Structure 1
Amino acid sequence: MRIRIDLDDTCSDVEVIIKTSQLNEQVAQIQKALSQLSRAPLVFYKGSSEYFVKIEDILFFETDGSKIYGHSRDNAYEVKLKLYELEDYLPSYFCRVAKATIVNTRSIYSLDKSFSGTSTIRFYETQKQVHASRHYYQLLKEKLQETR
């Protein structure tokens, strides 16, 4: 891979062009990383207050009825995005583990597999936990290998 930077005094904004012979996983990851740099910060809500919590401080996102909540170690905040929108927005170290749950793989302390096929995910320095369905288990294991 080559990286080239062209300085141009006439440019009013940064433009990134990726030239490649084929679209592969590496190019897709580069595109996702670049698009995340240009996004507005995610806003969290609790009551009538807005919070600007660092994404890396969020342990997991889950649905509760029609609402989506982002959980930190001590709090839960409402998010106005849908779960599928969060998947596109979040950094690559977040992973869907169930139909209604996305977790921060960097915050996972343990993964306990049960006989039924579901797994319990525990996080560092908190009692909060979520369940991963057997459908997403292998994807989670691969993501944990990448982030460790």
Structure 2
Amino acid sequence: MKVRVEIDDSLTDKEIVIKAPKYDAEVAQLYDAISRQSAKVQSLVFYKGDSEYYLSLDDVLFFETVDRQVHAHTVANEYAIHHRLYELEMMLTGQFMRISKSAIINLGNVFSLTRSVSSVVVKFKNSSKQVYVSRRYYKPLKDRLERRG
């Protein structure tokens, strides 16, 4: 089976097409897996106070665990989310990446990496928010950022 990604700036939404000589068990399984994954990602609910919010994942800068609660950070706000980081890591593919035991970032919103003797800090576009990268994740993060641009 070949896997290919095509980038088309004229598209407004993502589309997945499965091309096969016939509809068989493998195609059905692949279709079901993609459909389930897409439904999971689209069903993320963000909570703040008594309200539920349905945000675009593009607006999320990063997810972070603080005191056993996972928070989603946007440029202006912070929301609680009722998923564990390991669940989010499985649900969010492509533009998201784990960078420490307690954080997953949106690679599309990364502005800079600042490296010092003791740490690496990720800074985000149009925001003063930042998050630390574990040494273990620095090289894979740097590689992913270089490939994207």
| TM-score, normalized by the shorter chain, greater than 0.5 | yes
SS class of match (2:58): helix
Supply the AA of the counterpart residue of 2:87: E
Q: 2:83 aligns with which of 81, 84, 101?
A: 81
What per-residue deviation string (whole Å, max 9, x for no partner) do you get for residues 19-53 of structure 1? xxxxxxxxxxx997654323242000001110001
Paired position in structure 2 for 1:60: 62
What per-residue deviation string (whole Å, max 9, x for no partner) do you get for residues 33-75 of structure 1? 6543232420000011100011111000001101000000000
Aligned length: 129
Q: CA RMSD in A?
A: 2.4
Paired position in structure 1 for 2:107: 105
SS class of match (1:38): helix
1:3 has 2:5 as partner:
no
Supply the AA of the counterpart residue of 1:66: R
Supply the AA of the counterpart residue of 1:51: Y
Give structure 2 stretches of 5+ with no counterpart. 3-17
Supply the AA of the counterpart residue of 2:137: Y
Give structure 1 stretches of 5+ with no counterpart. 8-14, 19-29
Paired position in structure 2 for 1:134: 135
- Seen in structure 2, the aligned counterparts of structure 1 residues 33 and 17 have a Cα distance that, compared at 3 Å, is closer
Paired position in structure 2 for 1:123: 124
TM-score, normalised on structure 1? 0.77
CA contact (8 A) 1:98 1:131 kept: yes
Paired position in structure 2 for 1:45: 47
SS class of match (1:91): coil
SS class of match (2:28): coil
- Seen in structure 2, the aligned counterparts of structure 1 residues 120 and 32 have a Cα distance that, compared at 3 Å, is farther
Supply the AA of the counterpart residue of 1:87: E
Paired position in structure 2 for 1:114: 116
Q: 1:83: Cα distance to partner?
A: 0.5
Please identify runs of 4+ aligned residues in structure 1 that moved more than 4 A: 30-35
CA contact (8 A) 1:33 1:91 kept: no
Supply the AA of the counterpart residue of 1:144: L
